[in-house]
Amino acid sequence: MKRRHFLMAVSGLALAGAAGMSAGRWHRPYLLNPCRSTTLPQALAASPWLARTWQGLDPARVWDCHVHIAGIGDGDEGVKVGPKLDSVLHPKLYAQRLFYMNAGCVATQPGTVDENYVLRMATQVAEMPVGVKLMLFAFDWFHDERGEVSVERSTFFVANDYARRVAAAHPAAFEWVASIHPYRADALDQLEAAAAQGARAVKWLPAAQNIDPASARCDAFYAALARLDLPLISHCGEEKAVQSSQLEPLGNPLRLRRAMAAGVRVVVAHCATMGEDEDLDQPGRHRPSFELFARLMGQAEWKDHLHGDISAILLRNRRPDVIKTLLVREDWHGRLLNGSDYPLPGILPLMSPKTLATAGLLPKAAVPDLELLREHNPVYFDLALKRTLSWQGKSFSPQVFATRDFFDKGQHELRD
Ligand SMILES: [Zn+2]
């Protein structure tokens, strides 16, 4: 698939979206994000729902801890797309990619897509109070059992050096998170280098990268993470955003006990809110992944090591009772970390404020402003939406959003 075809396909989708709107059946676009200016219209900027977002919150502590760098590889060597994601022979993956690009608002000139994706993120941050930052994820290749790269089996790749450079170019907007496969021969050198260059954490997606967190092969890597005090953000539960196939069991939250036992601070991405995994404590039985995460949260031995990020928990494919549990478990809030999983909040069909309001999780009056905010600034939208959620009078406490305290080690030392 050539870049030109890709861009034509994006504009084809855009036309489909516009047709839906002009038919007059929809108050708001429903398929494609119209990518309005990140400068908010006066009425929206004055919305009480936006003002509420910042009540009791210090913007300088608000780091969105789960943000993806996407692109098509038309910039430098920093982003590469695996063959499956780049082929119309895999229509589902290909369509996903088109939506990612639309959410990032980059239907633009060939040669500028990667760059515009980054700029669009930076302008969204610039429209929020000073101090807010996004933590950008690198993404390592799939590696086989011998620790060799397999481009063929990879979905996409974002180089550590690229994430680092993007963050360095926009220091007021971004921090960066390394991705290092523990089976690589140079894994420890890579980790040392990333820590020295300011990485705030390491990100794994075990089922997509072929990493078994319960394997002894990770032990040296875990020892180094613990020594460097770098958190490990690891995807748990079913993975819909990138293809993962038969490697799904590697995302079992219980497999992360090995990392925690080695002293690593672990962040379970999305609090494992989707899918089922084998209950390794009772082999042969399967339980919702979220239940296994909840079990770990309840075990005193992991109190200082286990955390969960609340990215993607509001997607339509999550059950409302999972969201309700996260809201009412105030005893967990000190261990939850906010992230958006951007660009996903910009993909209109994935999240529905209206449905959340119908489920009683959101005031109906907040829906129009939130939906309009998403068309201008999906990053801000995700934060404002989570700050507005409540169930039985319980909301996420401000500390869930003050994630800098967890990732900024210097800050820890200052406070202690
Ligand atoms: Zn993600």
Q: In a 3-state reduction of DSSP, which class is residue 297?
A: helix
Report the pLDDT averaged over residues 261-268. 98
The residue with tokens 């959101």 is: 362
Residues facing 276 on adjacent strands: 288
Please state, in angstroms and rounded to a whole number, the distance separating the CA atoms of residues 26 and 31. 11
Distance of CA 175 to the CA centre of its chain: 14
Residue 304 DSSP one-character state: T
The model's pLDDT over 268-301, given as tens digits with 9 standing for 90+, comes to: 999 999 999 999 999 999 999 999 999 999 999 9
Q: Centre a 10 Å sphere on the Cβ of residue 131 and count the other Cβ atoms it contains.
A: 14
In a domain, 332, yes or no: yes
The model's pLDDT over 153-180, given as tens digits with 9 standing for 90+, comes to: 888 899 999 999 999 999 999 999 999 9
- CA 203 to ligand 1 centroid distance, Å: 10
Whole-number pLDDT of residue 89: 63
- Of residues 352 and 93, more confidently modeled: 352
- CA 139 to ligand 1 centroid distance, Å: 10
- Residue 225, domain CATH: 3.20.20.140
- CA 346 to ligand 1 centroid distance, Å: 13
Whole-number pLDDT of residue 390: 97
Whole-number pLDDT of residue 262: 98
- Domain, as residue range, for 26: 2-407
- Taking alpha carbons only, the member of 278, 276, 236, 230 closest to residue 256 is 236
**What is the count of structural domains for the chain?**
1
- CA 66 to ligand 1 centroid distance, Å: 6
- CA 198 to ligand 1 centroid distance, Å: 21
Predicted confidence band of residue 108 (pLDDT cuts 50, 70, 90) = low
133 Cβ neighbours under 8 A, 6+ residues apart: 62, 63, 64, 125, 172, 173, 174, 175, 404
Whole-number pLDDT of residue 86: 64
- CA 134 to ligand 1 centroid distance, Å: 13
Whole-number pLDDT of residue 26: 47
Whether 207 and 251 have beta carbons less than 8 Å apart is answered as yes
- Please give the full DSSP string across 245-273, using - where no structure is assigned: GGGGGGG-GGGGHHHHHTT--EEEEGGG-
Please state, in angstroms and rounded to a whole number, the distance separating the CA atoms of residues 346 and 385. 13
- CA 240 to ligand 1 centroid distance, Å: 10
In a domain, 183, yes or no: yes
In a domain, 415, yes or no: no
Strands 266-269 and 202-204: unpaired
Strands 174-177 and 286-288: unpaired
The model's pLDDT over 143-153, given as tens digits with 9 standing for 90+, comes to: 999 999 999 88
Please state, in angstroms and rounded to a whole number, the distance separating the CA atoms of residues 275 and 102. 27
- CA 137 to ligand 1 centroid distance, Å: 9
The model's pLDDT over 304-318, given as tens digits with 9 standing for 90+, comes to: 999 999 999 999 888
In a domain, 262, yes or no: yes
- CA 158 to ligand 1 centroid distance, Å: 13
- CA 239 to ligand 1 centroid distance, Å: 9
- CA 169 to ligand 1 centroid distance, Å: 23
C-alpha dist (Å) from residue 165 to 119, 168, 295, 351: 13, 5, 39, 31
- CA 68 to ligand 1 centroid distance, Å: 6
In a domain, 416, yes or no: no
Please state, in angstroms and rounded to a whole number, the distance separating the CA atoms of residues 96 and 209. 19
Q: What is the pTM of this model?
A: 0.91
- CA 101 to ligand 1 centroid distance, Å: 15
- CA 42 to ligand 1 centroid distance, Å: 32
Q: 107-111, 202-206, 315-319, 388-392: lowest mean pLDDT where?
A: 107-111
- Of residues 213 and 86, more confidently modeled: 213
Please state, in angstroms and rounded to a whole number, the distance separating the CA atoms of residues 294 and 271. 9
Residues facing 158 on adjacent strands: 79, 139
- CA 67 to ligand 1 centroid distance, Å: 7
Q: Is the pLDDT of residue 410 over 60?
A: no
Maximum mean pLDDT: which of 9-23, 276-290, 400-414:
276-290
Report the pLDDT averaged over residues 235-245. 67
- Of residues 67 and 27, more confidently modeled: 67
Q: What is the mean pLDDT of the chain?
A: 88
Whole-number pLDDT of residue 324: 97
- Of residues 98 and 21, more confidently modeled: 98
Percent of the chain with pLDDT strictly greater than 90: 71
- CA 204 to ligand 1 centroid distance, Å: 10
Please state, in angstroms and rounded to a whole number, the distance separating the CA atoms of residues 275 and 237. 5
253 Cβ neighbours under 8 A, 6+ residues apart: 236, 237, 268, 272, 277, 289, 292, 293, 296
Backbone phi and psi for residue 220, each to the nearest 5 degrees, phi listed first: -65, -35
- Taking alpha carbons only, the member of 187, 164, 184 closest to residue 174 is 164
- CA 349 to ligand 1 centroid distance, Å: 17
- CA 274 to ligand 1 centroid distance, Å: 13
Instruction: Take residue 23 and report the two structure tokens written for it.
Output: 């038919």
Whole-number pLDDT of residue 344: 93
Instruction: Take residue 225 and report the two structure tokens written for it.
Output: 């993470």
Q: Is the pLDDT of residue 243 over 80?
A: no
